[in-house]
């Protein structure tokens, strides 16, 4: 069943969108409250395990440019759920920036002869490579978001480094968890297909 979904974009896009919304709800209803109760300073600005970032990574890995609906619809849902507004200029700019950053970094890395997603050699796709890719993407996005937050007076220059680091930690760890789970589900699907 997993292979039939992965092989069909008409099934995969809605499945990943549902996965994004479920990961958002899990983060908001379970992970964020646990982090708040732990009282860690690092989780004041951003989660240290942000699973929706991993779903966006997985969407880009599986769909390339077709990941845009997941970003736009999923992040709009998260924005509405979190802030009560849907289409503010800030959210639109951030969503469009995300839609461009993933392909930009993939192009740059491919131009440097690093087949980070294993398009040419399936053995070159590794969890480490995925984490490095996500680190670069998150750093770029958080840098842009930080400049945007400073421009809208939401944070000060003094807080900017901490803000960037919080996003990098949460997005990279969230991506690592999602990629690891995806890998395990693929192993199970392959084992089940071999058993039939």
- Cβ(177)–Cβ(51) below 8 Å: yes
What is the Cα 158 distance to its own chain's centre?
A: 26
Helix 51-63 with 127-151: angle, nearest 10 deg: 120
Domain definitions of the chain by residue range: 2-195
Residue-wise pLDDT for 43-55, tens only, equals: 666 788 999 999 9
Backbone angles phi, psi at 76, to 5 degrees: -65, -40
Residue-wise pLDDT for 68-102, tens only, equals: 999 999 988 988 887 776 677 778 888 898 999 99
Contacts 24+ apart (CB under 8 A), 40-44: 42/165, 42/166, 42/169, 43/166, 44/166
CATH architecture of 2-195: Orthogonal Bundle (1.10)
Residues of the chain with pLDDT under 70: 1-3, 41-45, 85-86, 122-125
Note the pLDDT of residue 108: 93
If you average pLDDT over every residue of the chain, what do you get?
86
DSSP 8-state class, residue 112: T
Write down the pTM of the prediction.
0.89
């Amino acid at each position: 069943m997993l292979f039939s979904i992965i092989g069909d974009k008409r099934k995969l896009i809605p499945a990943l969108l549902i996965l994004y919304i479920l990961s958002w709800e899990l983060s908001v209803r379970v992970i964020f409250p646990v982090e708040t109760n732990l009282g860690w300073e690092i989780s004041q600005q951003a989660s240290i395990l942000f699973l929706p970032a991993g779903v966006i990574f997985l969407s880009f890995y599986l769909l390339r440019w077709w990941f845009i609906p997941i970003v736009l619809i999923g992040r709009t849902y998260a924005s509405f759920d979190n802030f009560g507004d849907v289409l503010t200029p800030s959210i639109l700019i951030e969503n469009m920036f995300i839609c461009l950053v993933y392909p930009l970094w993939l192009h740059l890395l491919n131009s440097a002869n690093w087949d980070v997603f294993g398009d040419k050699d399936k053995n070159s796709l590794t969890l480490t490579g995925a984490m490095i890719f996500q680190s670069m993407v998150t750093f770029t996005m958080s840098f842009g978001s930080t400049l945007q937050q400073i421009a809208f007076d939401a944070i000060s220059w003094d807080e900017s480094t901490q803000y960037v680091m919080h996003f990098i930690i949460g997005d990279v760890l969230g991506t690592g968890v999602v990629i690891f789970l995806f890998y395990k589900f693929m192993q199970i699907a392959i084992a089940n297909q071999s058993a039939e």
